[in-house]
Homo-oligomer: A and B are copies of this chain.
Amino acid sequence: MSLLVVGSIALDCVETPSARRDDVLGGSAVYFSYAASYFTPVKLVGVVGEDWPAEHTRLLEGRKIDASGLQVVPGAKTFRWRGKYLPNMNDRETLEVHLNVFGDFNPQLSEDCRGSKFLFLANGSPKLQMQVLDQVASPTLAVADTMDLWIHTQRDELLQLLKRIDGLVLNDSEAKLLTGDENLVRAGHKVREMGPRFVVIKKGEHGAMFFSARETHVMPAYPTPDVVDPTGAGDSFAGGMMGYLASQGNFEPKTLKEALAYGVVVASFNVEDFSLDRMRQIDRPELDARLKEYRGMLSF
């Protein structure tokens, strides 16, 4: 089924202990859509400025991502993020954020996008996310991501959003912040009780946890020795998960679990190079081969 993602599109500057890249393709909706494209057709809605290299659009279209909802605003600049990873490659400092054109993002969905059945509300304020949700007629599955910034500044709007979505994806520190509970198992269920049918807590190099009314799952990260740049790991995880769900057309427990595993596996490729560089090299059979290996690791 059709999958729509709305979120940030960025030019990133990334520093790691051993390397640095400037002005590389990034942003939540970019990582998400690229990861999801291995599983299902994706529509990407976002906004960029006139500094946006056309080759980036071509790269996305090369994976059959429908980028017709990518709005280019003349005279404006693309969202920029600059960050630096600590030696553990799991924690990072944000050095600079310039929202630029993303600060005034006011997405007007096409008829086609309004009919999407699988919807992912990637990084953006809860206000923005609700504005998108209002436009999608009758989604089968609507899942959102959120950030510490919105928990601090738009808590009420976030709580409203939570009552309207099926799933929330957030990281471990955000789940603790939102619930005030330091135990992730309790925190996960507390977030779920705020509205969504399921909650996924991302733990970076430690994998992810899944919570629904009946189920609690834990999935370790795939143990790659080649962590080059973790940027976009959470978004590519969500992309793999949602892409697989959309490809199956349901979110039954069995499908959700396979989807989580695909999310883990796509994210493990994503971190093996800067930007989309590693994902650009792989195809679906490579994902399937690593999934098989991962499944073997977890069976006993």
Contact = CB atoms under 8 A, between A and B. Distances in A.
Interface in A19-78: none
Nearest to A89: B182
A297 B216 contact: yes
B227 A183 contact: yes
A182 B89 CA distance: 8
Given A257-B300, A299-B299, A218 B216 contact: no
A220 interface: yes
A221 interface: yes
A59 to B, nearest CB: 28
Given A206-B206, A219-B220, A220-B218, A225 B298 contact: no
Contacts of A295: 299-300
A220 B223 contact: no
A299 B298 CA distance: 7
Given A89-B182, A182-B87, A206-B203, A300 B223 contact: no
Identical chains in the assembly? 2
Contacts of A216: 223, 297
Nearest to A260: B300
A261 interface: yes
A295 B295 CA distance: 12
A186 B225 contact: yes
Contact of A223 (B87, B218, B298): B218
Interface residues of A, number: 36
A185 B300 contact: no
Nearest to A299: B299
A184 interface: yes
Nearest to A300: B257
A217 interface: yes
Interface string A183-209: 111100100000000000001011101
Given A87-B182, A203-B206, A260-B300, 12 more contacts: A17-B182, A183-B227, A185-B225, A186-B225, A206-B220, A207-B220, A218-B298, A219-B298, A254-B300, A257-B300, A295-B299, A298-B298
19 contacts: A17-B182, A87-B182, A88-B182, A89-B183, A183-B225, A183-B227, A184-B223, A206-B206, A207-B218, A207-B220, A216-B223, A218-B221, A218-B223, A218-B297, A218-B298, A220-B220, A257-B300, A298-B298, A298-B300
